[in-house]
Structure 1
């Protein structure tokens, strides 16, 4: 079985990246993640979703679009690996670049996904074929769902990344 998403598995929500702006579109910009040019993925920044509520006018929003050809700092917001190409949504909001948070897929409360946060990112895959799904969780939300008699796995869920 050929897995199309293998190269992109190194990318995860909350991870800071550099991106090169390839083109402008009415909703935002298409970008290429530096270092992943041959990973078979599509990456974008939805400028309307990120900035339209805080901009006074459409012209003000357009002025926020980074120039084509420029490199920008971004953080990975979401990754969709359901089918090729892998789709990556980036955020360039200043607050997200400082500390990125996202709703926990178990409890719905926000959890800090960026470095130093309390989130775990799970890649859910099947042996039946390619494609995967990313789940974001508080450590305790995952640990609480592991059977109490499986103390080792519960302890690892609470400790992984904190070593």
Structure 2
């Protein structure tokens, strides 16, 4: 059995990326993530800034096909082949990306320096994976006392 869920393994929610717009759709834009061409990617119109201040960008407000723009990884889906990345281009998300903690339900900051972490969940039974988003403390406090991982969770990605 060949695993496909390694596609885009270097991507995590909250990470800034550079993308090239490859197509317009009624619901948003198709993009290619620079350096991660092995995974499909898209941006919904609801997460593209609208100069006309609509709740979603209108098709003529989308970045033009062929342009390169900044985006932030919102979600990575590796349930079936190929893996897929959902991105956001909202200026507020480029500054500080937040997502709901899967433990407590409140927002956690996934941008660099934030209080959130992302866990990839995979099984030896076969391909497919998912990501769990959590506050560092929500995860650390739910780990068993005999595990040393609670202290590691508090320091992952932070300078020593």
TM norm structure 1: 0.90
Query: How far 1:149 sits from its partner (Å)?
Result: 2.9
Structure 1 Cα separation of the partners of residues 7 and 92 of structure 2: 28
Kept after mapping to 2: 8 A contact 1:24/1:68: yes
Structure 1 Cα separation of the partners of residues 13 and 46 of structure 2: 20
Higher helix share: 1
1:108 is aligned, of 92, 105, 109, to 105
CA offset digits 1:114-138 (Å, max 9, x no partner): 1110111100000000111011100
The unaligned stretches of length 5 or more in structure 1 are none
The reply to whether residue 30 of structure 1 matches residue 35 of structure 2 is no
Structure 2 Cα separation of the partners of residues 119 and 89 of structure 1: 18
- Secondary structure of 1:9's counterpart equals coil
The reply to whether residue 161 of structure 1 matches residue 157 of structure 2 is yes
Aligned residue number for residue 114 of structure 2? 117
CA offset digits 1:38-92 (Å, max 9, x no partner): x1x210010135557x73498x723320000101100000110111111111100
Q: Let me know the Cα RMSD of the aligned residues.
A: 1.9
TM norm structure 2: 0.91
Kept after mapping to 2: 8 A contact 1:55/1:61: no
| Off by >3 Å, runs of 4+ in structure 1 | 48-52
Aligned residue number for residue 16 of structure 1? 16
The unaligned stretches of length 5 or more in structure 2 are none
1:65-144 pair list within 5 angstroms: 65-144=62-141
Q: What is the aligned length?
A: 158
